[in-house]
Structure 1
Amino acid sequence: MASAQPVFRDGCSSNKPPCFIGEHYDFWKIRMQTYLEAQGDDIWDAVENGPHIPTTIINNKGEIKIKNSWTDDDKRKVLFDKKAKNMLQSALEMDEFFRISHCKTAKEIWDTLEVTHEGTIEVKRSKLNTLSQEYELFGMLPGESILDLQKRFSHLTNHLSALGKTFTKY
């Protein structure tokens, strides 16, 4: 008798990107970045820094190449953004997809989701300050179990990490 195959819920497979339905963005962002990085450094680079734009030097100036003059390397590098864009779109439910459907690049999708769910730089800075203060004053609540304390602490540090706070181990 064959053994039963494990059943994965949507987003719990290493082959599919984690699904984002509009809630818990900080959790999804960490998982999605890890997923994209696992597809290759070039894929994540396209998300973080934008797509490769094939250029050539003419008269000491960089000029964008016309598509029929792209080298095989240019074509390969341009494809990284298309793959990243596909992965990001595939990870979004309908409302989130329509929010980014106008975006032309993977970086634009990522940045749009980030501003939508984390806010502008000023909003992020304010959230970071508030959460940092909560971190500094963190303590056990009356009647709280160790498990609940750990869960609350992990949630707090994950929020801080998603906003760019780094922690050192000593």
Structure 2
Amino acid sequence: DEYFRVSNCKSAKDMWDTLQVTHEGTTNFKRSRINTLTHEYELFRMKTNESIQDMQKRFTHIVNNLVALGRIFPNEDLINKVLRCLSRE
């Protein structure tokens, strides 16, 4: 698959740009994805009848996707966010 994506490229830079867009997405797509995930992060709450393990999995998934896109969170912020999101039940 990779070969066919770059086989018509004229230079190494064209190949690199093609592969970068293929695997990372365009700048606009990345910005949109960061905005969506940040919104999910900000609104994150524990669901009714959700276990702590399931909540942690959802939270980790959001944070890991943001980190992969270059958004880094201090550990203290993550801990405080999780503590604020816990259900009172």
TM over 0.5: yes
Shift of residue 131 of structure 1? 0.6
Equivalent residue for 1:150? 56
Name the CA distance, whole Å, in 1 between partners of 2:71 and 2:3. Answer: 28
Shift of residue 164 of structure 1? 1.0
Letter matched to residue 104 of structure 1: A
Shift of residue 118 of structure 1? 3.4
1:13-52 alignment, distance < 5 Å: none
- Backbone CA RMSD of aligned residues: 2.4
Task: Return structure 1 stretches of 4+ with deviation > 4 angstroms.
Answer: 100-103
Equivalent residue for 1:78? none
- Name the count of aligned residue pairs: 73
Query: Which structure ranks higher in relative contact order (CA pairs < 8 Å, sequence separation ≥ 6)?
Result: 2
Q: Which runs of 5+ in 2 are unaligned?
A: 77-89
Check if 1:168 corresponds to 2:70: no
SS at match of 1:152: helix
Check if 1:98 corresponds to 2:4: yes
Equivalent residue for 1:125? 31
Name the CA distance, whole Å, in 2 between partners of 1:118 and 1:140. Answer: 30
Shift of residue 128 of structure 1? 0.5
SS at match of 1:143: coil
Name the CA distance, whole Å, in 2 between partners of 1:99 and 1:164. Answer: 26
Shift of residue 100 of structure 1? 4.4
Shift of residue 135 of structure 1? 0.3
Q: TM-score, normalised by structure 1?
A: 0.36
Structure with greater proportional strand content: 1
Q: What is the percentage of aligned positions where both structures have the same residue? A: 56
1:2-13 alignment, distance < 5 Å: none
Compare CA radii of gyration and give the structure with the larger one.
1
Name the CA distance, whole Å, in 2 between partners of 1:115 and 1:149. Answer: 32
Residue of 41, 49, 54 corresponding to 1:135: 41
Structure with greater proportional helix content: 2
Cα 1:145/1:97, change in 2 over 3 Å: farther
